[in-house]
Structure 1
Amino acid sequence: MARFGTFLLAGLAAALGGCATLLDSSEQLVELHTILDNREVAGIGCVLANDAGRWFVVAPGRVTIVRSSTALTVDCARQGVGSSRELVDSRFSTGKLIGNLVVSGGLGYLVDWRTGAGFAYPATLTVIMKRPPAPEQVGALDNRVF
Protein backbone atom coordinates (compact mmCIF):
# COMPACT_ATOMS: atom_id res chain seq x y z
CA MET A 1 0.00 0.00 0.00
CA ALA A 2 2.89 2.37 0.77
CA ARG A 3 4.28 1.86 -2.73
CA PHE A 4 0.92 2.76 -4.26
CA GLY A 5 0.86 5.99 -2.21
CA THR A 6 4.38 6.87 -3.30
CA PHE A 7 3.50 6.17 -6.93
CA LEU A 8 0.31 8.24 -6.66
CA LEU A 9 2.21 11.14 -5.05
CA ALA A 10 4.90 11.04 -7.76
CA GLY A 11 2.24 11.00 -10.48
CA LEU A 12 0.40 13.93 -8.90
CA ALA A 13 3.63 15.96 -8.66
CA ALA A 14 4.40 15.26 -12.31
CA ALA A 15 0.89 16.25 -13.34
CA LEU A 16 1.06 19.51 -11.43
CA GLY A 17 4.46 20.24 -12.97
CA GLY A 18 3.04 19.82 -16.46
CA CYS A 19 1.49 22.26 -18.88
CA ALA A 20 2.80 25.72 -18.05
CA THR A 21 0.24 27.29 -20.36
CA LEU A 22 -2.46 26.33 -17.88
CA LEU A 23 -0.56 26.75 -14.61
CA ASP A 24 2.02 29.53 -15.08
CA SER A 25 1.87 33.15 -16.12
CA SER A 26 3.27 34.01 -19.53
CA GLU A 27 5.03 36.97 -17.89
CA GLN A 28 8.33 37.02 -16.02
CA LEU A 29 10.02 39.63 -13.84
CA VAL A 30 13.71 40.09 -14.68
CA GLU A 31 16.31 42.22 -12.94
CA LEU A 32 18.93 43.95 -15.09
CA HIS A 33 22.39 45.16 -14.09
CA THR A 34 25.01 46.86 -16.27
CA ILE A 35 28.75 46.50 -15.66
CA LEU A 36 31.57 48.66 -17.05
CA ASP A 37 35.21 48.21 -16.04
CA ASN A 38 34.24 45.69 -13.33
CA ARG A 39 31.83 48.14 -11.64
CA GLU A 40 28.10 48.49 -11.83
CA VAL A 41 26.97 51.64 -13.64
CA ALA A 42 23.58 53.25 -13.19
CA GLY A 43 21.34 55.22 -15.50
CA ILE A 44 21.85 53.03 -18.56
CA GLY A 45 18.84 52.78 -20.87
CA CYS A 46 18.10 49.26 -22.05
CA VAL A 47 15.63 47.73 -24.48
CA LEU A 48 14.76 44.06 -24.08
CA ALA A 49 13.04 42.36 -27.01
CA ASN A 50 11.87 38.95 -28.16
CA ASP A 51 9.18 37.78 -30.57
CA ALA A 52 6.50 38.61 -27.97
CA GLY A 53 7.36 42.32 -27.57
CA ARG A 54 9.76 45.06 -26.49
CA TRP A 55 10.34 46.52 -23.02
CA PHE A 56 12.36 49.49 -21.75
CA VAL A 57 14.15 49.68 -18.41
CA VAL A 58 16.80 51.93 -16.87
CA ALA A 59 19.51 49.78 -15.29
CA PRO A 60 19.83 48.79 -12.61
CA GLY A 61 16.15 47.98 -12.63
CA ARG A 62 13.39 45.45 -12.97
CA VAL A 63 10.97 44.90 -15.80
CA THR A 64 8.19 42.42 -16.52
CA ILE A 65 8.54 40.74 -19.91
CA VAL A 66 6.55 38.12 -21.78
CA ARG A 67 8.18 34.68 -21.93
CA SER A 68 9.10 33.14 -25.26
CA SER A 69 10.95 30.17 -26.65
CA THR A 70 13.21 32.58 -28.58
CA ALA A 71 16.27 34.42 -27.27
CA LEU A 72 15.90 37.76 -25.52
CA THR A 73 17.89 40.59 -27.11
CA VAL A 74 19.24 43.10 -24.58
CA ASP A 75 20.44 46.43 -26.04
CA CYS A 76 21.88 48.92 -23.55
CA ALA A 77 23.49 52.30 -24.19
CA ARG A 78 24.25 55.67 -22.69
CA GLN A 79 26.00 58.39 -24.65
CA GLY A 80 29.51 59.00 -23.38
CA VAL A 81 29.48 55.86 -21.24
CA GLY A 82 29.17 52.86 -23.55
CA SER A 83 26.89 50.30 -25.10
CA SER A 84 26.26 46.59 -25.34
CA ARG A 85 24.12 44.08 -27.18
CA GLU A 86 23.62 40.59 -25.77
CA LEU A 87 21.41 37.60 -26.48
CA VAL A 88 19.97 35.62 -23.58
CA ASP A 89 18.61 32.15 -24.33
CA SER A 90 15.36 30.97 -22.82
CA ARG A 91 15.25 27.58 -21.15
CA PHE A 92 12.46 25.06 -20.86
CA SER A 93 11.85 23.77 -17.34
CA THR A 94 12.83 20.10 -16.98
CA GLY A 95 10.07 19.52 -14.42
CA LYS A 96 7.48 20.87 -16.83
CA LEU A 97 8.87 18.67 -19.60
CA ILE A 98 8.49 15.52 -17.49
CA GLY A 99 4.99 16.58 -16.43
CA ASN A 100 4.02 17.22 -20.03
CA LEU A 101 5.30 13.81 -21.13
CA VAL A 102 3.47 11.99 -18.33
CA VAL A 103 0.18 13.89 -18.47
CA SER A 104 -0.29 14.66 -22.14
CA GLY A 105 2.14 12.41 -23.95
CA GLY A 106 4.14 15.45 -25.08
CA LEU A 107 1.21 17.50 -26.41
CA GLY A 108 1.57 19.95 -23.49
CA TYR A 109 5.21 20.50 -24.45
CA LEU A 110 4.16 21.54 -27.94
CA VAL A 111 1.60 23.96 -26.54
CA ASP A 112 4.11 25.40 -24.04
CA TRP A 113 6.75 25.73 -26.77
CA ARG A 114 4.30 27.51 -29.08
CA THR A 115 3.09 29.97 -26.40
CA GLY A 116 6.46 30.33 -24.64
CA ALA A 117 4.82 29.74 -21.24
CA GLY A 118 7.04 26.76 -20.41
CA PHE A 119 10.20 28.79 -21.00
CA ALA A 120 12.01 31.27 -18.77
CA TYR A 121 14.99 33.59 -18.89
CA PRO A 122 17.44 33.95 -15.99
CA ALA A 123 15.87 36.05 -13.20
CA THR A 124 18.94 38.33 -13.10
CA LEU A 125 20.60 39.59 -16.27
CA THR A 126 24.08 41.13 -16.14
CA VAL A 127 25.18 43.07 -19.22
CA ILE A 128 28.85 43.88 -19.80
CA MET A 129 29.16 47.35 -21.33
CA LYS A 130 31.87 48.43 -23.78
CA ARG A 131 33.28 51.94 -23.89
CA PRO A 132 32.84 53.89 -27.13
CA PRO A 133 35.96 54.13 -29.30
CA ALA A 134 38.27 57.07 -28.52
CA PRO A 135 37.91 60.06 -30.90
CA GLU A 136 41.31 59.43 -32.53
CA GLN A 137 40.27 55.83 -33.27
CA VAL A 138 37.02 56.98 -34.87
CA GLY A 139 38.91 59.26 -37.28
CA ALA A 140 41.36 56.48 -38.12
CA LEU A 141 38.47 54.13 -38.90
CA ASP A 142 36.92 56.70 -41.25
CA ASN A 143 40.13 56.96 -43.34
CA ARG A 144 40.52 53.24 -44.02
CA VAL A 145 40.68 52.05 -47.62
CA PHE A 146 38.64 48.97 -48.46
Structure 2
Amino acid sequence: MKVVIQRVTDAYVLSPEKEKEEIGKGLVLLVGVGKTDGSAAARSLAEKISKMRVFGDDKGKMNLDISQVAGEILSVPQFTLMARTDKGNRPGFDEAALPEKAEGIWRAFNESLRNRGIAVKEGFFGKYMEICLKNDGPVTFVVEEVGDE
Protein backbone atom coordinates (compact mmCIF):
# COMPACT_ATOMS: atom_id res chain seq x y z
CA MET A 1 0.00 0.00 0.00
CA LYS A 2 1.06 3.53 -0.66
CA VAL A 3 -0.50 6.62 0.92
CA VAL A 4 0.18 10.25 0.10
CA ILE A 5 -0.64 12.36 3.17
CA GLN A 6 -1.43 16.05 2.80
CA ARG A 7 -2.11 18.30 5.77
CA VAL A 8 -5.03 20.61 4.95
CA THR A 9 -7.08 23.43 6.39
CA ASP A 10 -10.11 22.05 4.52
CA ALA A 11 -10.90 19.79 1.58
CA TYR A 12 -13.70 18.18 -0.36
CA VAL A 13 -14.28 15.55 -3.00
CA LEU A 14 -17.07 15.72 -5.56
CA SER A 15 -18.43 12.90 -7.74
CA PRO A 16 -19.92 13.39 -11.23
CA GLU A 17 -23.36 12.97 -9.61
CA LYS A 18 -22.49 15.91 -7.34
CA GLU A 19 -22.15 13.75 -4.24
CA LYS A 20 -19.84 15.63 -1.88
CA GLU A 21 -17.76 14.70 1.15
CA GLU A 22 -15.85 17.42 2.98
CA ILE A 23 -13.61 17.97 5.97
CA GLY A 24 -12.18 20.87 7.91
CA LYS A 25 -8.70 20.81 9.43
CA GLY A 26 -7.05 17.45 8.97
CA LEU A 27 -5.47 15.15 6.42
CA VAL A 28 -6.26 14.18 2.86
CA LEU A 29 -5.06 10.64 2.19
CA LEU A 30 -4.60 9.43 -1.38
CA VAL A 31 -4.58 5.65 -1.02
CA GLY A 32 -3.17 3.12 -3.48
CA VAL A 33 -3.59 -0.62 -2.95
CA GLY A 34 -1.17 -3.09 -4.52
CA LYS A 35 -1.96 -6.61 -5.65
CA THR A 36 -0.01 -8.16 -2.75
CA ASP A 37 -1.54 -5.91 -0.08
CA GLY A 38 -3.91 -7.26 2.54
CA SER A 39 -5.59 -6.33 5.79
CA ALA A 40 -2.33 -6.40 7.79
CA ALA A 41 -0.86 -3.65 5.59
CA ALA A 42 -4.08 -1.64 5.97
CA ARG A 43 -4.00 -1.91 9.77
CA SER A 44 -0.29 -1.10 9.96
CA LEU A 45 -0.58 2.04 7.83
CA ALA A 46 -3.70 3.19 9.69
CA GLU A 47 -1.84 2.88 12.98
CA LYS A 48 1.19 4.74 11.65
CA ILE A 49 -0.85 7.58 10.14
CA SER A 50 -3.01 7.95 13.25
CA LYS A 51 0.14 8.50 15.34
CA MET A 52 2.10 10.71 12.95
CA ARG A 53 2.91 14.03 14.58
CA VAL A 54 2.36 16.36 11.63
CA PHE A 55 0.43 19.21 13.30
CA GLY A 56 2.08 22.13 15.03
CA ASP A 57 2.01 22.65 18.78
CA ASP A 58 1.85 26.09 20.44
CA LYS A 59 5.49 26.64 19.45
CA GLY A 60 4.90 25.66 15.83
CA LYS A 61 6.80 22.38 16.14
CA MET A 62 5.25 19.29 14.50
CA ASN A 63 4.41 17.57 17.75
CA LEU A 64 0.70 16.72 17.56
CA ASP A 65 -1.16 13.89 15.86
CA ILE A 66 -4.56 14.14 14.21
CA SER A 67 -6.52 13.16 17.33
CA GLN A 68 -4.76 15.80 19.41
CA VAL A 69 -6.00 18.55 17.06
CA ALA A 70 -9.49 17.03 16.63
CA GLY A 71 -8.75 16.73 12.91
CA GLU A 72 -10.61 14.79 10.25
CA ILE A 73 -9.46 12.57 7.41
CA LEU A 74 -10.64 12.54 3.81
CA SER A 75 -9.57 9.18 2.37
CA VAL A 76 -9.50 9.01 -1.42
CA PRO A 77 -8.87 5.78 -3.34
CA GLN A 78 -6.25 6.33 -6.05
CA PHE A 79 -5.03 3.29 -7.96
CA THR A 80 -2.69 5.44 -10.09
CA LEU A 81 -0.34 5.65 -7.09
CA MET A 82 0.60 2.05 -7.80
CA ALA A 83 1.71 2.82 -11.37
CA ARG A 84 5.13 1.77 -12.61
CA THR A 85 6.82 4.50 -14.58
CA ASP A 86 10.30 3.04 -15.00
CA LYS A 87 9.76 1.71 -18.54
CA GLY A 88 8.46 3.59 -21.54
CA ASN A 89 6.17 6.59 -21.52
CA ARG A 90 2.89 4.99 -20.48
CA PRO A 91 2.34 4.18 -16.80
CA GLY A 92 1.83 0.47 -16.12
CA PHE A 93 -0.73 -0.68 -13.57
CA ASP A 94 0.22 -4.35 -13.20
CA GLU A 95 1.14 -3.79 -9.54
CA ALA A 96 -2.27 -2.34 -8.61
CA ALA A 97 -4.83 -4.59 -6.95
CA LEU A 98 -7.93 -5.49 -8.93
CA PRO A 99 -10.89 -3.23 -8.05
CA GLU A 100 -12.81 -5.83 -6.00
CA LYS A 101 -9.83 -6.49 -3.76
CA ALA A 102 -8.65 -2.87 -3.62
CA GLU A 103 -12.02 -1.58 -2.47
CA GLY A 104 -12.20 -4.04 0.42
CA ILE A 105 -8.70 -3.23 1.64
CA TRP A 106 -9.27 0.53 1.28
CA ARG A 107 -12.50 0.26 3.30
CA ALA A 108 -10.73 -1.85 5.95
CA PHE A 109 -8.01 0.83 6.13
CA ASN A 110 -10.66 3.51 6.69
CA GLU A 111 -12.41 1.42 9.34
CA SER A 112 -9.11 0.89 11.13
CA LEU A 113 -8.67 4.68 11.29
CA ARG A 114 -12.22 5.05 12.64
CA ASN A 115 -11.52 2.40 15.27
CA ARG A 116 -8.79 4.74 16.54
CA GLY A 117 -11.39 7.46 17.13
CA ILE A 118 -10.69 9.49 13.99
CA ALA A 119 -13.51 11.00 11.91
CA VAL A 120 -13.06 9.65 8.37
CA LYS A 121 -14.90 10.78 5.25
CA GLU A 122 -14.48 8.75 2.08
CA GLY A 123 -14.05 9.56 -1.58
CA PHE A 124 -15.93 7.52 -4.17
CA PHE A 125 -14.38 4.21 -5.13
CA GLY A 126 -14.21 3.53 -8.86
CA LYS A 127 -15.56 6.93 -9.84
CA TYR A 128 -14.00 9.98 -11.39
CA MET A 129 -13.62 12.59 -8.65
CA GLU A 130 -12.87 16.26 -8.39
CA ILE A 131 -10.75 16.93 -5.31
CA CYS A 132 -10.24 20.38 -3.88
CA LEU A 133 -7.95 21.00 -0.93
CA LYS A 134 -6.10 23.79 0.78
CA ASN A 135 -2.64 22.54 1.66
CA ASP A 136 -1.49 23.64 5.09
CA GLY A 137 2.24 24.34 4.97
CA PRO A 138 2.48 22.67 2.51
CA VAL A 139 3.07 19.50 4.49
CA THR A 140 3.07 16.31 2.41
CA PHE A 141 4.39 12.82 3.17
CA VAL A 142 4.41 9.46 1.41
CA VAL A 143 4.19 6.27 3.48
CA GLU A 144 4.34 2.71 2.18
CA GLU A 145 3.80 -0.76 3.52
CA VAL A 146 5.04 -3.79 1.61
CA GLY A 147 2.30 -6.27 0.71
CA ASP A 148 1.39 -8.95 3.22
CA GLU A 149 -0.02 -11.74 1.05
**TM-score under structure 1 length normalisation:** 0.23
Query: When you count helix as a share of all residues, which structure comes out higher?
Result: 1
Q: Which has the higher contact order (CA 8 A, sep 6+)?
A: 2
Greater Rg by CA = 1
**TM-score under structure 2 length normalisation:** 0.23
